[in-house]
Amino acid sequence: MLSKRVVACLDVKDGELAKSIKFVDTKTIGDPVAKAKEYYEGGLDELVFYDITASSEKRNIMLDVVSAVAQQIFIPFSVGGGIRTLQDIDALLRSGVEKINVNSAAVKRPGLINECASAIGRQNTVLSMDVQRVTPSTACPSGFEVVINGGRSPMGLDAIAWAKEGVVRGAGELVVNSIDGDGTRDGYDIELTRNIAEAVSVPVVASGGAGHPEHLRQVLTEGKADAALVASMVHYGDFTIGEIKQYLHDQGVRVRRHF
């Protein structure tokens, strides 16, 4: 059995670490480079970096910040935000990134997933999805809708169907972020995560709502996620990466032990 992964997320705005609740009321809360180093030294399995306004502002990702973070860590490093072309991908890889996250641009032009997978391999191509609960409809029969541009633009696209298409096109991993849970620290959307995990054959990273190590246990077991993403609970000092992993280990969840 493969170990479950603990993944930290750095949402970055204007070069600063930022955090919001349900994608609104965004506040800057620190230095992303310092946090990356802290989490790496604390035993983190993987780091995800999102330039959260690059897509909505129609600009490229801040490569200088990405490069500064990459120099501090020696674990898988995944980056998303403002990625539209193979040239964008090449620039990120040269900055020290291993995995490429596509989101808004892939919804607008799904062929981007194919291009990315062909250029750098499925294993390095990640489809990130921002998802909100809606009333089930013909367009969204699952009751989960894909939203792009940093939570600003609902697309009338069913999240389960999009997850399946993304995998067919070449995504080797999915990051599934619940907008309803984002920043609340009330727990992951177990139903959303499980529904997508059961629908696809690639690893699923659960995101949105982590506030206590028990939330990670729930989504990694009941939600069938392969990894759990944390942000607020470590950014604000509620728990360390080591404490989270120790709890999971004590609860019988297999994790990579760095302690």
Confidence of residue 254 (pLDDT cuts 50, 70, 90): very high
Write the pLDDT tens digit of every residue in 122-132.
999 999 999 99
pLDDT for 62: 81
Write the pLDDT tens digit of every residue in 42-65.
999 999 998 877 666 776 678 888
Q: For residue 252, how many other CB atoms are within 10 A of its CB?
A: 8
For 72-83, what is the mean pLDDT?
93
- In this predicted structure, the answer to whether residue 24 has a pLDDT above a threshold of 70 is no
Beta carbons of 50 and 69 less than 8 angstroms apart: no
250 included as an active-site residue = no
**pTM of the full structure:** 0.92
11 included as an active-site residue = yes
Catalytic residue among 11, 45, 88, 158: 11
Helix (H, G, I), strand (E, B), or coil: what is residue 257?
A: coil
pLDDT for 203: 98
243 vs 259, more confident? 243
Which CATH code fits 5-250?
Answer: 3.20.20.70
Average pLDDT, the chain: 93
For 67-96, what is the mean pLDDT?
93
Write the pLDDT tens digit of every residue in 132-162.
999 999 999 999 999 998 788 999 999 999 9
Which residues are CB-neighbours of 231 under 8 A, at least 6 positions away? 8, 9, 10, 11, 19, 183, 210
Catalytic residue among 45, 51, 130, 158: 130
pLDDT for 149: 85
User: Pairing mode, if any, of strands 204-207 and 125-133?
Assistant: unpaired
For 86-115, what is the mean pLDDT?
94
pLDDT for 55: 65
Write the pLDDT tens digit of every residue in 180-236.
999 899 999 999 999 999 999 999 999 999 999 999 999 999 999 999 999 999 999
pLDDT for 29: 73
pLDDT for 61: 75
What single string gives the DSSP state of each residue in 52-95?
TTTTTTT----HHHHHHHHTT--S-EEEESS--SHHHHHHHHHT
Percentage of the chain beyond pLDDT 90 is 80
166 vs 11, more confident? 166
pLDDT for 25: 66
234 vs 20, more confident? 234
Domain ranges of the chain: 5-250
Confidence of residue 258 (pLDDT cuts 50, 70, 90): low
pLDDT for 35: 95
Q: Which residues pair with 128 in a beta bridge?
A: 175
